[in-house]
Amino acid sequence: MYILSKTQELSFQPFFEILIGEAKKATCTRSKCGSIILKDGEIIGKWYNSPPNSLDSQRRCGCEKSMYHKKVTDKTCCIHAEQRAIFDALKKNGEKILWSRLYFIRLDEYNTPKRSGKPYCTICSKSALDVGIQEFVLWEEKGFCVYDTQEYNDLSFRYDDE
Domain locations in the chain as residue ranges: 2-157
pLDDT tens digits for range 93-137: 889 999 999 999 999 999 999 999 889 999 999 999 999 999 999
Q: What is the pLDDT of residue 160?
A: 72
Share of the chain above pLDDT 70, in %: 84
CA-closest candidate to residue 54, choices 92, 72, 81, 73? 81
Mean pLDDT of the chain: 89
Q: What is the pLDDT of residue 77?
A: 65
Task: Please list the residues that pair with 145 across neighbouring strands.
Answer: 3, 138
pLDDT tops 60 at residue 71: no
* 23 against 69, higher pLDDT: 23
pTM, full prediction: 0.88
Residue 58: C-alpha distances to residues 61, 87, 100, 116, 149 (Å): 9, 19, 31, 27, 30
* 6 against 72, higher pLDDT: 6
CB distance 47 to 97 below 8 Å:
no
Q: What is the pLDDT of residue 72?
A: 43
CATH hierarchy code of domain 2-157: 3.40.140.10
pLDDT tops 60 at residue 86: yes
Cα atoms in the 13 Å half-sphere on the side-chain side of 99: 4
Q: Mean pLDDT throughout 17-32?
A: 92
CA 146 – CA 151 distance, rounded (Å): 10
| Number of residues in the chain | 162
Q: What is the pLDDT of residue 159?
A: 81
Q: What is the pLDDT of residue 23?
A: 97
pLDDT tens digits for range 132-150: 999 999 999 999 999 999 9
